[in-house]
Amino acid sequence: MKLWGGRFTGREDNIMKKFNTSLPVDRRLYFEDITGSIAHVKMLVACELLTEDEGTLLVDGLESILKDIESGVLKVEGDFEDIHSFVEMNLTERIGEVGKKLHTARSRNDQVAVDMRQYAKNKGQEVMVALQQLIDSLNKKAAENNVIMPGYTHLQRAQVVTFNHHLGAYVQMFSRDKKRIENAVNILDENPLGCGALAGTTHNIDRQITTDLLGFSKPVDNFLDGVSDRDYLLELMSGFSITMMHMSRLSEELILWSSQEFKFIEMDDAYATGSSIMPQKKNPDAAELIRGKTGRVYGSLFALLTTLKGLPLTYNKDMQEDKEQFFDALDTVLDCLEIMAKMIDTLHVQEENMKAAIKAGFLNATEVADYLVSKGTAFRDAHEIVGKIIIYCEEQEKAIEDLTIAELAKFSDHIAEDIYAYIDYDAILEKGNKKLIKKTK
């Protein structure tokens, strides 16, 4: 069941056969492989390298294989080296001798290159759709929860923000991720079919025809590059890695926020699990798994970078390793994006606990200093004065706004009744840069 037996007299070792085969992995390229072959046949007919009748037989045969795979009648399995061998041998079995003409003016090197580019292009677009769904979920949850919460630096309560603004930060991250994927898809959108094994072909083919039929923007400019370029997989996987990193940061916050220590949110039961021993537990497993799987996607990116780094031009069998890494990274990022969007859709915000955390955290301390500055105190002096006020509040177990004017005046002559309006949390949000909050599309 091989495409290349002619030059061999000895038999392949069974362990070698098992080691070499890629069908269990590249079987998922069947659609791109068959549609690529159909375009190739149509081009060969247009260039008079095949007759119309031969072309019809080949295209009908390929279409019937596609139909049978999609309906489940034909299973993509068996003793074949790869998806290309599977399709070609199946074709010859169905339509007879003419099937052997399919591979005219083509190599598996440009064939696999075109299959992977098509697949990467389609799946890149799928990731963009999934990113947009997550962005929509974040925007919706943000709009429903324009509630006040502590903002953090160093994981210490810092200044007051809104939950809306906090989720909005992630909207920005995922919007940039989407642009990165879109950019990678635009760069890869070139047709390598017609590059042959590495040096084109002596047949008078027309690469523009397959380019148009397959919907690529142009044929590649260089044959050697066309069969050995896997940059586009690295670019997509870099995009996936950055997306995972952003989801991992969001996961970390969801995990913290749903802890008893924060209690800012409650996860829906659908995305949590219990403990086999501790009956009270509700664990945020979905978020933890996303955080964990981030390492796996980085690993795939690094595996492929390392595989490619020492390869001479052009095709080397090492490159077959691209698929397992790319497919795993892709499946992981798609699963995680879907789960993350659902987790965001269903989480419940515990508004009262967010508010209580603000009171306890002196989140208007910076604004007390700003108030003193507005009355003529130098900022550095104001900072010092507020530090003293905080010590006093801690001793008294009071918030700054709960001190009387008499108490406050002990720290500075500049403090008057208007301070309360100045350091009120809603007023701070109103005045502050929260004006920036707008719904990101």
> Catalytic residues, which ones?
154, 275
CA angle 169, 173, 179 (to 5 degrees): 145
- Residues whose CB is less than 8 angstroms from the CB of residue 240 and which lie 6 or more positions away in sequence, other chains included: 127, 297, 301, 329, 330, 332, 333
Q: Which is nearer to ligand ARG, 78 or 274 (CB)?
A: 78
Number of residues that bind ligand ARG (CB under 6 A): 10
Smallest distance from the beta carbon of 230 to ligand ARG, in angstroms?
10
Q: Which is nearer to ligand ARG, 32 or 82 (CB)?
A: 82
On whether the CB atoms of residues 301 and 376 are closer than 8 A, the answer is no
* Virtual torsion, Cα 203, 207, 210, 214, nearest 10 deg: 150
On whether the CB atoms of residues 200 and 289 are closer than 8 A, the answer is no
Task: Tell me the residue nearest to ligand ARG as measured from the CB.
Answer: 320
Gap between the Cα atoms of 301 and 107, Å rounded: 27
Smallest distance from the beta carbon of 315 to ligand ARG, in angstroms?
6
On whether the CB atoms of residues 93 and 60 are closer than 8 A, the answer is no
On whether the CB atoms of residues 134 and 174 are closer than 8 A, the answer is yes
Cβ-count burial 214-247 (b if 16+ within 10 Å, e if not): bebeebbeebebbbbbbebbbbbbbbbbbbbbbb
Smallest distance from the beta carbon of 101 to ligand ARG, in angstroms?
19
Smallest distance from the beta carbon of 229 to ligand ARG, in angstroms?
13
Among 207, 132, 120, 118, CA closest to 175: 132
Gap between the Cα atoms of 402 and 408, Å rounded: 10
Taking CB under 6 A as the rule, which mask of x and - marks residues 23-52 in contact with ligand ARG?
---x--------------------------
CA-CA distances (angstroms) from residue 321 to 20, 76, 117, 233, 340? 11, 20, 15, 12, 29
Q: Which is nearer to ligand ARG, 103 or 434 (CB)?
A: 103
Q: Which is nearer to ligand ARG, 69 or 319 (CB)?
A: 319
User: Please, which of residues 291-320 interact with ligand ARG by CB under 6 A?
Assistant: 315, 317, 319-320
Q: Which is nearer to ligand ARG, 4 or 278 (CB)?
A: 4
Using the 8-state DSSP alphabet, how is residue 362 labeled? Answer: T
Smallest distance from the beta carbon of 231 to ligand ARG, in angstroms?
16
Smallest distance from the beta carbon of 189 to ligand ARG, in angstroms?
21
* Virtual torsion, Cα 39, 43, 49, 54, nearest 10 deg: 50
Run of H or E residues at 5? none
User: Please, which of residues 94-153 interact with ligand ARG by CB under 6 A?
Assistant: 108-109, 112
Smallest distance from the beta carbon of 97 to ligand ARG, in angstroms?
24
Taking CB under 6 A as the rule, which mask of x and - marks residues 74-93 in contact with ligand ARG?
--------x-----------
Taking CB under 6 A as the rule, which mask of x and - marks residues 322-361 in contact with ligand ARG?
----------------------------------------
Cβ-count burial 336-374 (b if 16+ within 10 Å, e if not): bbebbbbbbbebebbeeebbebbbebbbbbbbbbbbbbe
Gap between the Cα atoms of 93 and 244, Å rounded: 45
Q: Which is nearer to ligand ARG, 78 or 295 (CB)?
A: 78
Among 68, 71, 112, 115, CA closest to 94: 68
The values of phi and psi at residue 401, to 5°, are -70, -10
Smallest distance from the beta carbon of 301 to ligand ARG, in angstroms?
18
Q: Which is nearer to ligand ARG, 30 or 315 (CB)?
A: 315
User: Please, which of residues 178-207 interact with ligand ARG by CB under 6 A?
Assistant: none
Q: Which is nearer to ligand ARG, 193 or 247 (CB)?
A: 193
User: Please, which of residues 222-281 interact with ligand ARG by CB under 6 A?
Assistant: none
The footprint of ligand ARG (CB under 6 A) covers 22, 26, 82, 108-109, 112, 315, 317, 319-320
